[in-house]
Amino acid sequence: MTVITVNGTEQKLQVDPSTPLLWVLREQLALTGTKFGCGMAQCGACTVHVDGTAMRSCVTPLSAVSGQKITTIEGLAPNNNELHPLQQAWIEEQVPQCGYCQSGQLMSAAALLATNPSPSDADINIAMAGNICRCGMYSRIRRAIKSVAGVQQFDPAVTELAREINNG
């Protein structure tokens, strides 16, 4: 049995521990916001936070995250009534086209801003390099990230903690 914490809730999983986290999230936990695009860490559609760091869940075996805290797109917002500033900016800039890549884009961007609140263009290029958008919304993604740069971010680790306290 593998134990992980996903969006603040502890999960005990009877799954082959070599299974990539992506499929555990989507199939066992029905968290379908995290997407499959390539299966080989090339596209970023499956990006989640593992202890606050952006990881490609399609190549991360469940065993590698045992005991760790995972945040998915469903847990990015601080609570049910509020969006993460990036989610808000994504709507303001009308970023998504098909939207399929956007969970991954948002998770990569959130991890960037949590450690680097005012990234340069070059920082953005590096942090977002692993996320493909076949609809080509890169200018809007860049604009949206910059529009919240410097704005108070929800540190994923802090959000996690708050949630755990709430959940008792």
Partner 1 sequence: MGKWTRRAVISAGVVAGGGLIVGVAIRPGNRAAKLSKYVAGDGETLLHTWVKLDSDNVVTAIIPHAEMGQGVGTALAQMLADELDADWDLVKFEEAPALGEFANYPMAQAMLLAGADIPDFVLPTVEGALIRTAHVLDLQITGGSLSVRTTGAYGMRIAGAAVKEMLKIAAAEAWQVPVNQVIAENSQLIHKASGRVEPYCAFAESASQMTPPVSPTLKSVDEFKIMGRHVERHDLPSKVDGTAIFALDVRLPDMLYATVMRAPTFGGGIDSVDEVRTRAINGVVDVVQLPSAEVSSMLGKFTYAESVAVVAKGYWAAKQGMDALNIQWRSTENDGVSSDAIFKQFDRDISAGVDRESDIAQGDLVASMENAAQVIHADYRVPFLAHTCMEPLNATAMVNDGHCEVWVGCQSPLSFRQAIANALGFDIENVTVHNCFMGGGFGRKSRPDYAIQAAQLAVSLGRPVQLLWTREEDVRQDFYRPAIQSRFRAALDDSGDLIAWENTYVDKHEPDEAALIPYSVDVQDIGHVRSPTHIPFGAWRSVAHSHHGFFTESFIDEVAVAAGQDPFDYRVARLQHLPRQLAVLTKAAKEAQWHIPLAPGRGRGISLQSSFGSIVAEVVEVTVKDGNLSVDRVVAVIDAGYAVSPDGMKAQIESGIIYGLSAALFGEISIKDGAVVESNFHDYQSVRMSDAPAIETHIINSGADWGGAGEPGTPPIASALTNAIFNATGNRIRQLPIKNVDLQAARESTATMG
Using CB distances below 5 to 8 A depending on partner kind, what does residue 46 bind out of ligand FES, partner 1, none?
ligand FES
Strand order in the sheet with 69-71: 9-13, 2-6, 69-71, 47-50, 53-56
Within 42-101, the residues that bind partner 1 by CB under 8 A are: 42-43, 45, 72-74, 76-77, 83, 87, 90-91, 94-101
Number of residues interacting with ligand FES: please give it, by CB under 6 A: 23
Residue 69 in contact with residue 33, Cβ under 8 Å?
no
Stretch that binds partner 1, among 19-27, 112-120, 150-158, 159-167 (CB under 8 A): 19-27
Strand partners for 69: 5
Using CB distances below 5 to 8 A depending on partner kind, what does residue 56 bind out of ligand FES, partner 1, none?
ligand FES
Residue 124 in contact with residue 112, Cβ under 8 Å?
yes
Q: How far is the CB of 18 from ligand FES (least distance, A)?
A: 16
Q: Answer yes or no whether residue 25 interacts with ligand FES by CB under 6 A.
A: no
Smaller CB separation from partner 1, 28 or 168: 28
Q: Answer yes or no whether residue 133 interacts with ligand FES by CB under 6 A.
A: yes
The residue from 64, 83, 135, 162 that contacts ligand FES (CB under 6 A) is 135
Within 64-103, the residues that bind ligand FES by CB under 6 A are: 96-102
Q: How far is the CB of 48 from partner 1 (least distance, A)?
A: 11
Q: Which residues bind ligand FES (CB under 6 A)?
A: 36-39, 41-46, 56, 58, 96-102, 133-135, 137
